[in-house]
Amino acid sequence: MSVTQQNVNRIKAGAARSPSMNTSMNTDRSLLVPSGPITWQVWPPALDGSTSQSRDCEPSQQPGKAILDTTLGMQDTLRPPSDILDLRGVPSSAKPLDRRKLLVAGLGSVGGRLFVQLSRLGVGELYGVDPDRYEPASGRTQPSQFSDAGRKKSEVCGERAAAVLPDGFVATAATSVQRVPYWLLRHVDLLIASGDNLAMLLWLGRTAMGLAKMLIEGAVDGDTWTAFCRVYDLRHPDNACPGCTLSEKDWPTITTRHGCDPRHDAPEMPSTRTLPFVCATAAQIACAEVARHFWELPPVMSGSYEIALCLLSHRLHVTRLQRNPNCRCPHERWAVRDLPDSPAKATFASVLDRLGISDRSVAFCGEQSWIRSAVCERCGQRHPVRRFGEVGEQVGICSCGGPLIATPMGVRHLISSVDVEAQRHVPLGQLGFRSGAALGLLCENKATYVFVGPPPYLTEGTRPAPGMDPNPTAKELNSP
């Protein structure tokens, strides 16, 4: 069974705003797809050792809970029990995984099972995202019960993972991975894809490549009872990425969803509803590869590779994934800088000064949307705004006294040089820029990604997450 034969049907387990796949920053090479606020549900360990759970609600309804709205209230993670190290097969050199951090994108047939299994390994911080809800028929293929119908997959999986290992830190959100803040993507040690569309997988591949991280994919082919696990070692740009395995006929279908939920049925692409034991097998293989990586066991083979186990024939295929020289995805590291200045002090001018850039023609783009104009909700007039924000958000006051609301027509991805010059010395915070968010710059065809100010988990009143420097300084993260 070749890789190319499985490309279209490869992702049949269940999140996704589809980014462009062009290759220059002025055509979205930056990957800074604007992302809005996300409400997270968290299950952190309480400081007294007991567990606390939070439901998906507004912070005002539950003031004592650490609900995340792009300001994730990270807490020190207590050390989970080390019993996992006493189990047979665990290498003697293995260390507890309580300092490890993982993000799972897609919490359906494969990802939902994998998410809970990772908590059994004692992973210290687990993050999961999925925009969907369970349906009455979901229990046939997914790790859900009939009573879960209508509930968010992220909520159910978060509860079950936290119940397995209450000393860990679990956070989930009902959103697509493309909306996860970039500081969190940098924060985790490893990315896992188990979604239902190629666009999400390609986006994760490009992000992992830019941040020099490993990406593990769990997927199935229901017709052949085949469970897949693909390991992309994207710490090295010469290794194969998800885009390397696609043929030309696959690219027009990257946004098509191949999920297990019947409501996604379409005449040309019915829901897969893959047998549950095939999905469970894919989740277990992916979990084993996570453990292999964290316990520093020798990889199955160097570079990127695919593990395919057919439960009909009991044949196991391990295939090296080859780098495609014509891959549409850029195989390059991001030049990443951390700037300690808070958005309250940083300006477009100061960012350029810190980077030593004197060219005023540099192009900017933000992780947040750039709102160039907005419409008055009262009189309907459109006015220039020039600030960061989100569609539907109030971004100013009209002369008539009505609120100015950002609409899709006024949103821009690239910030024009005219707008940069007009707001050159205005603090980014006054322009709506969030602390810890990313700002992309393109100068002389070289892209640099700047994180301005400390990320939310380093703000006053919270504690730095395990392994994070509480006093970041400007530095290159991905030096050659």
pLDDT tens per residue across span 244-253: 998 888 878 7
Residues 194 and 108 in one domain: yes
Ramachandran sector of residue 249 (left: φ over 0; alpha: ψ -120 to 50; beta: rest): alpha
Residues 304 and 355 in one domain: no
251 vs 309 pLDDT, higher one: 309
**Residue labelled with tokens 């606020």:** 37
The domain that holds 284 is classified in CATH as: 3.40.50.720
Residues 127 and 269 in one domain: yes
- Whether the pLDDT of residue 391 is over 60: the answer is yes
Question: How confident is the model over 90-138, as pLDDT tens digits?
Answer: 888 888 888 899 999 999 999 999 999 999 998 989 999 999 999 998 8
Q: Flag whether 480 is in a domain.
A: no
In degrees, rounded to 5, the angle at the alpha carbon of residue 394 between the alpha carbons of residues 391 and 400 is 130
Residues 308 and 363 in one domain: no
Q: Flag whether 253 is in a domain.
A: yes
331 and 238 Cβ atoms separated by less than 8 Å: yes
User: What is the pLDDT at residue 243?
Assistant: 93
Residues 199 and 98 in one domain: yes
Percent of the chain residues topping a pLDDT of 90: 47
Side chain identity, residue 113 = R
Task: Give the number of C-alpha atoms closer than 13 A to the C-alpha of residue 219, restricted to the C-beta side.
Answer: 25
Residues 288 and 194 in one domain: yes
Instruction: With residue 441 as reference, give the H or E element that holds it.
Output: strand 438-443
Q: Flag whether 85 is in a domain.
A: yes
Phi first, then psi: what are they for 257, rounded to 5°? -90, 135
The domain that holds 390 is classified in CATH as: 3.10.290
The set of residues, in sequence order, having a beta carbon less than 8 Å from that of 356 and lying 6+ positions away, is none
Range of the domain at 402: 335-458
What end-to-end distance do the CA atoms of the chain give, in Å? 37
Q: Flag whether 22 is in a domain.
A: yes
Strand ranges (E), 49-92:
68-69
For residue 105 the two structure tokens come to: 């994108």
Percentages of the chain per state (helix, strand, coil), in multiples of 5: 25, 25, 50
Q: How far apart are CA 451 and CA 472, in angstroms?
A: 11
Residues 355 and 212 in one domain: no
Q: How far apart are CA 201 and CA 170, in angstroms?
A: 22
337 vs 38 pLDDT, higher one: 337
CB atoms closer than 10 angstroms to residue 371 = 26
Q: How far apart are CA 254 and CA 200, in angstroms?
A: 8
User: What is the pLDDT at residue 263?
Assistant: 52
Percent of the chain residues topping a pLDDT of 70: 75
- Binning pLDDT at 50, 70 and 90, where does residue 414 land? confident
Residues 356 and 312 in one domain: no
Residues 288 and 353 in one domain: no
Q: How far is CA 427 from CA 92, 245, 441, 451, in A?
A: 53, 44, 17, 15
149 vs 68 pLDDT, higher one: 149
Q: Flag whether 197 is in a domain.
A: yes
Q: What is the mean pLDDT of the chain?
A: 78
304 and 241 Cβ atoms separated by less than 8 Å: yes
For residue 301 the two structure tokens come to: 């083979």
Total tally of structural domains belonging to the chain: 2
If you ran DSSP here, which 8-state letter would residue 163 be given?
Answer: H
Bridge partners of residue 307, in order along the sequence: 229, 318
Residues 234 and 368 in one domain: no
Q: Of 57-61, 98-102, 149-153, 395-399, give the lowest mean pLDDT range.
A: 57-61
- Whether the pLDDT of residue 236 is over 70: the answer is yes
The set of residues, in sequence order, having a beta carbon less than 8 Å from that of 332 and lying 6+ positions away, is 209, 210, 237
Q: Flag whether 468 is in a domain.
A: no
Question: How confident is the model over 13-31, as pLDDT tens digits?
Answer: 332 333 332 333 333 333 3
What are the start-end ranges of the H helices in 375-437? 417-422
Residues 371 and 311 in one domain: no
- Whether the pLDDT of residue 265 is over 80: the answer is no
Q: Flag whether 327 is in a domain.
A: no
User: What is the pLDDT at residue 77?
Assistant: 42
Q: How far is CA 375 from CA 26, 36, 140, 423, 429, in A?
A: 27, 19, 47, 20, 22
Residues 78 and 18 in one domain: yes
Side chain identity, residue 341 = D
Q: Exposed, middle or buried: residue 87 (CB in 10 Å: 0-12, 13-18, 19+)? A: exposed
The β-bridge relationship of strands 363-376 and 438-443 is: antiparallel
Q: How far apart are CA 12 and CA 151, in angstroms?
A: 21
Q: Flag whether 464 is in a domain.
A: no
Question: How confident is the model over 333-347, as pLDDT tens digits?
Answer: 888 999 888 999 999
Task: Give the number of C-alpha atoms closer than 13 A to the C-alpha of residue 222, restricted to the C-beta side.
Answer: 18
Question: How confident is the model over 144-202, as pLDDT tens digits?
Answer: 988 999 999 999 999 999 988 777 789 999 999 988 988 899 999 999 999 888 889 99
